[in-house]
Amino acid sequence: GESVGLHLPTLSVQEGDNSIINCAYSNSASDYFIWYKQESGKGPQFIIDIRSNMDKRQGQRVTVLLNKTVKHLSLQIAATQPGDSAVYFCAEGRPETNFGNEKLTFGTGTRLTIIP
Amino acid sequence: DGGITQSPKYLFRKEGQNVTLSCEQNLNHDAMYWYRQDPGQGLRLIYYSQIVNDFQKGDIAEGYSVSREKKESFPLTVTSAQKNPTAFYLCASSEGRANQPQHFGDGTRLSIL
């Protein structure tokens, strides 16, 4: 399928190495953050989330770090595999009147390529 | 398996034609959303629904319409008033509570003939 994000920042990493993908968010009122993985022609896949009262959260092979002081979010992927090649983007959520839960604002993403 | 099903995967529209994109979820989620994805841009919210029989405009609702007659279904109609409909359309759902992620379907790619 057609790639989404034709002019995305790119990151190439050797298979087995660790990857770090960064995201700067814009709104200091955002209190919930999500990382998604999107493969070509598919919908975004939830990876991991973090609330603003946390600085770090770990999942399987992934870690998300949140620095509220500089409004920065990062996703660390350990021991990258060929299947990790995809576009990764962050989303910031903030409470909004009449929205019920958080309204999400999505970044444009980073294309991660794993080199065998 | 629980999930979100979008159909069709590819759709073509003629000038002046309305088309409807299907979105069905079996996750028992209260909230459903429609986004549009264009190259080089983040997802943009078209419409959302927090509960059956209620929906709200998102940031780019002009030229689109939705309905939410059933909890599991949230179809999107792209009307002839949408002058630039070519895009990848994504449907999502969530529990509708705070700090719960949205989960996405695999999208419908709409093109103009």
Q: Which residues, other chains included, contact B92 with Cβ-Cβ below 8 Å and sequence gap of 6+? A: B4, B32, B33, B34, B35, B102, B103, B104, B105
pLDDT at B112: 87
Predicted confidence band of residue A1 (pLDDT cuts 50, 70, 90):
very low
Amino acid letter, residue B64: Y
Contact A46 B101 (CB under 8 A): yes
A9-58 confidence digits (pLDDT tens): 999 999 999 999 999 998 898 999 999 999 999 999 999 999 999 999 99
Nearest to B22 by CA among B101, B107, B95, B87: B107
Task: For chain B, give the percent of residues with pLDDT over 90.
Answer: 84
pLDDT at A81: 97
pLDDT at A98: 66
pLDDT at A69: 94
pLDDT at A61 over 80: yes
pLDDT at A5 over 60: no
Q: How far is A116 from chain B (nearest CA, A)?
A: 27
Q: Which 3 state secondary structure label does DSSP give B105?
A: coil
Decide: B71 and B49 in contact? Cβ < 8 Å.
Answer: no
What is the rounded average pLDDT for all residues in chain A?
90
Contact B37 A8 (CB under 8 A): no
Region of poorest pLDDT, from B2-6, B57-61, B62-66, B104-108: B2-6
From A41, A44, A100, residue closest to B31, measured CB to CB = A100
Contact B6 A43 (CB under 8 A): yes
From B42, B96, B97, residue closest to A108, measured CB to CB = B42
The structure tokens listed for A101 are 């839960």
Q: Which helix (H) or strand (E) holds A21?
A: strand A19-24
pLDDT at A87: 96
pLDDT at A7 over 70: no
Decide: B5 and B102 in contact? Cβ < 8 Å.
Answer: no
